[in-house]
Structure formats: structure tokens, C-alpha cells
Structure 1
């Protein structure tokens, strides 16, 4: 009976001797990948259609507003008002991109691979949240920059006019950031609840659109206090209420101080902070449970 023989083949395997990048680099790579995914970069042409269609629409609107202002000299829409007017597009952008960022990973079961690396569970959720919030801010901020450049190059007041225009732009960009943070927090939390992108998208649209009638009903109630607090009933209305309180004439021109929110401005600001904090907390808890399975 012959003795068993074996052969060791040298397949050229070598131990990795390069730098071992830690948690910060993993977080940054995941954030950048999520941001690229939001705009379909590095993916098929089909994945690029919707995000760039939306981006094209907002840029065309901004260019049109700039052209009208150049010809007439009248400010058709302030930077803050532009963010408000594009809110319906933001809803659908979140409904498509949010599930793309997290629901696909849940459905394909790749989360254990992510968490096998030096990536804490919370970092995954925060990186995805940061990606979506940044994408939304770019969606609203880039057109505002187009409007600013058009106004700056056509102003007749020299550097003083450019400076005044910049002072109007900065609150608009901050207001766009508020839209981005609130919508990203709520939208990503909903998307994280299911691995089916269609269900996630429907849930996001339902939360943002179906809460709007609540505001309408509360605003016509006999109680003035209920009327002034009615905008707490919808995330979209809540953002607008915070804008009314913090931006004033930049969002509601004409010097009208009798806003719908009455004297409850601080309440709306606190509600917005609590909404974002609550959604982020629930998102982190959600991924703690997902990773434990």
C-alpha cells in the first residue's frame, strides 16, 4: 500500500505589509461611497438618470430666476425661498436615494461584512446619514450659488452689492442645510426599517406628504394657539416655521411680522432639534439590532 503524498504549491501569496488604515479612513471611505451612490457616480447610466434629472431641474430653475433678475432688476425669489419652493423635489430625491443607500445593504445581507472591519455599528449609520445630508445640501445649495454668481456679476453697486448679496446667500445656505439634515434624518430612519426599496420609498413619501393635511386641519381650528402650533404636524411645515422665526424677511418678505407661528418660534426650533436627535438615536439603535443578528 503506497503512502499518501502531498504537494505544496507556491501560488505567490504574500502577507500585506502596507499601512493599515483605521476607523477614520473606513468611515471616510463609506461616506464618500454613499455620496457617490446618491448621484449615481461609478454606477450604471440608469442609476444616474433620476439624481441628475433632479439636479438639472433645480439648476434650470435657478438659471431662469437669475435671467429674469438680470433683465428686470427684480428679485423674483430669495435664496431661502428657493429652498422652500424645491421641497417637493427634495422629498422624491430622499425617497429614491435613501433606500438606495441602506435598504440595498439590508436586502443583500452584506452588513456583517461591513462590521467585520474596524467600523463600529454607529459609524455605518452616521456615514450614510452624512452622505444623504450632504447630497441634499448640494441639491439645494448649488442652484443658490448659481443665483449668487448671476447677481454678483450683474450688480451695479460694485463690491458693496456683492457683499450684500453674500449676506443674503449665507442664510439661504444654512436654511438649505436645515432642510438637508431634517429630511436625511427622517428619510434614512424610514429606509432602514426594510430591505425592500419600494416599501421604503413609499414610506418616506407617505410620511412627508400625508402629514401635510394635518397642518391644514389644525390651522383652521377655532383655537388661536392650535393654529400657531399647527406646523408641528408635518416635518416640511416644521422646517418652514423654523425658517420664518430665524430668517424673517429673507423667507417672508414685506416686513410682515404677524407670522402663522405667533410667538412659538423657540418651540419650533426645539421641536426641530428634538426631531433630528430622535431620528438619529433611533437610527443608531436600529443598526445595533441589525448587527447583532
Structure 2
């Protein structure tokens, strides 16, 4: 008895639609990363932590707005709000960055990304933009609630609302600075390993280790050493830039002396260095 081969038509057809390029790939990565930041499109378990953090920060903003409407005094400025919420942001970044970077390494999907028109620079830019947007929203939306509470209870009419808006804008800029620096550091550390727990621990360790170093340097009996002590920690680095650009508004009240420009330069250089290292890391992966 001879065996005969059978050809089955299972309905595969050639794709005849529009072929999208790099821009579409970058946009898709950005949107997917931003949605993943808040657990959208994922399991209920993945939504717990980001929305818990967001809920706490929104609740604090609502309380601050309500208290201000009752007593007519500002408990925390927009810049001070960011400083007070800093540790929540650190833990948010420590959970989010491994989800955006380490999961792709562990699951082996990077070769699939780079087999398309998407390049290593597109991948890094999309992930960085998604995470920075998520962190900025986490800070900026509560600040908007604080602004609305102040605007609707002001006794100075339109001028009072305008003055409040002028206070809000530097606060949003300060939040953007937090988002850019923390996102760049978090993504770089997370790109080093496919294990999310190790990546999260590494991110938290960077902030926990550098903060006591700042305390030691700040206690040295030297005016110059005290003024430059904030350069060793990302948290105090941002606070130093805030103290330079908006004196008297930061919660940490660092004594940076005449070195404010140095804080700003180091912040810009640190963000750029992290992004360049990320790019070098993924260019190497894309070339494999």
C-alpha cells in the first residue's frame, strides 16, 4: 500500500495592506510601554501596584487641596509635593523599569523587534519616553488637582488663578526633571538583567546607597564640601537643581551655594550618559 501526500489549504494569505515604517513601530512601542506602566491590557495583579501608588498620590493631593480651601494657606507647594513623594516614585520606577526592559530580555523578543524596521535607537527612545511620561503623569496629575483646588477657592479672581498657574508651571517642570533622571537611571539598570527582581533591587539600591553618602559628605566641616554633597545622590541632585532654579521652594532646602549650575550640568550629563549607555547596550543586541 503506497502512502500519498496530502496538501491542506489552511487559509494563509499574503499581506496586502499598507506596510508601516519606523515611526509606526516607535509609536506602537511607546503606547504599549505607557499602557503597561499602569497595567492596562494586563492581568489584574499587574494593575495593583501602579494604581495603588497613583491612588495614594491623588489622595494626598486631594487632602492638600481641601485643607488649603479651608484654612487658606499652602501646606505644600508644587515643588515640595514632588520632594515629599520621592520615595513612592523610586519604588514605582523600581517596579516599572524591569517590566519595560527585563521582560523583553527574559522572553527573547528583542530579535523580533529588531528584525523589523525598528532600530535600537527607536527602541530606547520609545521605552524612555513611555516611562518618563508615566512618571510625569504620576506627579503632574496630582499637581493639577492641587491647582484646581486653589483656583476655585482663590479670593483674588482671575489674577489669583493666573498667579497660581505661574506657580504650577515650575512644579510641572520639576516633575519632568524627576521623570527624566529617574527613568534614565532605572532603564539602564533594568537593561542589565532579564530577572525583574534583581533589576528592581538594583534600582532601589542605587538610591539607598547614595543617600547616606550625601549625609556623610554634608556633615564634613567644609562649606564647599557641604555645597557639593548633593551631587552624589540622584534625589539630592534634583533638589539642588530645584533650589537653584526656584530658591526657597524645595522641601529639602539644600545649601548649594554658588554651585547651582554644576548641579544642572551634572543632571543633564547623567541623563545623557544613561541614554548613550542604553543605546550602546541595545545596538550590541541588535547586531547579534
Bin for the TM-score computed over the shorter chain = over 0.9
Determine if contact 1:95/1:200 at 8 Å carries over to the other structure.
yes
Aligned-residue CA RMSD (Å): 1.6
**Counterpart position of 2:105:** 106
**Counterpart position of 1:198:** 197
1:283 to 265, 269, 278: 278
Q: Structure 1 stretch 270-279 or stretch 15-24: which is displaced more?
A: 15-24
The Cα of 1:220 is off from its aligned counterpart by 1.3
Deviation per residue, 1:200-242 (Å, 9 max, x gap): 0000000012100111111111221111100001011000000
- The total of aligned residue pairs comes to 288
Task: Provide the C-alpha distance between the structure 2 equivalents of 1:238 and 1:37, rounded to a whole number of angstroms.
Answer: 29
Task: Provide the C-alpha distance between the structure 2 equivalents of 1:225 and 1:148, rounded to a whole number of angstroms.
Answer: 37
Report the TM-score when normalising by structure 1.
0.95
Task: Provide the C-alpha distance between the structure 1 equivalents of 2:85 and 2:64, rounded to a whole number of angstroms.
Answer: 13
1:260 to 248, 255, 260: 255
**Counterpart position of 2:11:** 12
Report the TM-score when normalising by structure 2.
0.96
The Cα of 1:126 is off from its aligned counterpart by 1.4
Task: Provide the C-alpha distance between the structure 2 equivalents of 1:102 and 1:162, rounded to a whole number of angstroms.
Answer: 42
Alignment of 1:99-138 (within 5 A): 99-138=98-137
Deviation per residue, 1:116-148 (Å, 9 max, x gap): 111001211111111111000000001000001
Task: Provide the C-alpha distance between the structure 1 equivalents of 2:234 and 2:212, rounded to a whole number of angstroms.
Answer: 12
Task: Provide the C-alpha distance between the structure 2 equivalents of 1:79 and 1:224, rounded to a whole number of angstroms.
Answer: 29
1:245 aligns with 2:244: yes
1:269 aligns with 2:268: no
The Cα of 1:291 is off from its aligned counterpart by 2.5
Counterpart of 1:18 in 2: which secondary structure?
coil
Deviation per residue, 1:24-83 (Å, 9 max, x gap): 011000000000101000000000000000000000000111111000000111011101
Structure 1: stretches of 5+ with no match in the other structure: none
Determine if contact 1:168/1:250 at 8 Å carries over to the other structure.
no
Task: Provide the C-alpha distance between the structure 2 equivalents of 1:31 and 1:204, rounded to a whole number of angstroms.
Answer: 22
Counterpart of 2:255 in 1: which secondary structure?
coil
